[in-house]
């Protein structure tokens, strides 16, 4: 897989995890302008301040994903690895949240 594809895939895993957190709370965020920014903020309110740093990084990951998707920027190996680690951490948190709210 290309580095571009990997970064986009890992970021989309973060989005899926955040949407699962919202769904477990009976909430949703629609698409549109700044939809992912709103999604990150809503999930932060649900997961609590212990995840503020992670969600700030996912905000940075979003900007990197936008650069790759819309400006044809080739991400560095470090950027891809960062998003991969953030996806893993977010999916772990989302899984715990969903189980606790099931």
pLDDT tens string 67-91: 999 988 999 999 999 999 999 999 9
* Rounded alpha-carbon distances, angstroms, from residue 95 to 12, 37, 64, 67, 77: 16, 21, 25, 29, 27
Token pair listed for 41: 């903020």
pLDDT tens string 45-69: 999 999 999 999 999 999 999 999 9
Per-residue model confidence (pLDDT) at position 41 = 94
Per-residue model confidence (pLDDT) at position 32 = 74
Per-residue model confidence (pLDDT) at position 80 = 97
How confident is the model over 2-10, as a mean pLDDT?
96
Q: Are 51 and 93 in contact (CB under 8 A)?
A: yes
Per-residue model confidence (pLDDT) at position 34 = 85
Per-residue model confidence (pLDDT) at position 20 = 96
């Amino acid at each position: 897989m290309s580095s571009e594809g990997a970064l986009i895939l890992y970021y989309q895993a973060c989005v899926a995890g955040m949407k699962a957190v919202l769904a477990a709370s009976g909430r949703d965020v629609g698409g549109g302008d700044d939809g992912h920014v709103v999604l990150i903020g809503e999930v932060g309110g649900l997961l609590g301040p212990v995840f503020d740093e992670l969600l700030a990084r996912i905000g940075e990951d979003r900007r990197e994903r936008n650069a790759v998707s819309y400006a044809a920027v080739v991400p560095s190996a470090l950027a891809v690895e960062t998003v991969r680690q953030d996806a893993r951490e977010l999916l772990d948190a989302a899984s715990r949240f969903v189980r606790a709210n099931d």
